[in-house]
Amino acid sequence: MNTATARYDGHLRTEATHVASGTIIQTDAPVDNHGRGEAFSPTDLVSTALGACIITTMGIVAERHEWDLAGSTFVVTKHMSTEAPRRIAQIDVTLTLPATLAPSERALLERAAHTCPVTMSLHPDVKQNVVFEYR
């Protein structure tokens, strides 16, 4: 079964539909690359996917051990290359997790974070800075 279908709407915008759920995502080119920046750009989605994959993978581990990560957050900052070809050069992900996690629990979750499928799928030239804050 297909994962998604998409349509180019013109003016550097797309609309993609997740086949299984019907959820719709719209994209727009960024302002610095001829777009209006009125939606996620494709590279924003890649960067956000990294953060979402990390927290989801950590959530799988947490559920297995009955640890509660509800309310945890992440912030993503994408850095584009300054020379050709245009590409994502670096993604910074800062996660905020419960301070109540023990050091051994933190170590297990952090190990899981660094092996999420998106982390493992990105080209090695894309620098990934992942920071864990416990509050």
- pLDDT tens per residue, range 47-100: 999 999 999 999 999 999 999 999 999 999 999 999 999 999 999 999 999 999
Helices 42-65, 103-113: crossing angle, 10 deg rounding: 140
Please give the Cα distance from 23 to 40 (Å, whole number). Answer: 15
Domain of 99, CATH number, reads 3.30.300.20
**25 and 90 together in one domain:** no
* Whole-number pLDDT of residue 83: 94
Q: Return phi, psi of residue 54, to 5°.
A: -60, -50
Q: Residue 11 is part of which domain span?
A: 4-33
Task: Work out the mean pLDDT of the chain and round it to a whole number.
Answer: 97
- The fraction of the chain above a pLDDT of 70, given in percent, is 100
Query: How many Cα neighbours within 13 Å face the side chain of 106?
Result: 14
* Whole-number pLDDT of residue 107: 98
**71 and 120 together in one domain:** yes
**77 and 110 together in one domain:** yes
Structural domain count of the chain: 2
* Whole-number pLDDT of residue 8: 98
Please give the Cα distance from 131 to 77 (Å, whole number). Answer: 12
**76 and 102 together in one domain:** yes
- pTM equals 0.95
**46 and 23 together in one domain:** no
pLDDT category of residue 20 using cuts at 50, 70 and 90: very high
Altogether, the residues listed in the chain come to a count of 135
**13 and 54 together in one domain:** no
**18 and 66 together in one domain:** no
* Whole-number pLDDT of residue 37: 95
pLDDT category of residue 1 using cuts at 50, 70 and 90: very high
Mean pLDDT across 94-113:
98
**49 and 97 together in one domain:** yes
**64 and 98 together in one domain:** yes
**66 and 91 together in one domain:** yes
Please give the Cα distance from 83 to 89 (Å, whole number). Answer: 10
**69 and 20 together in one domain:** no
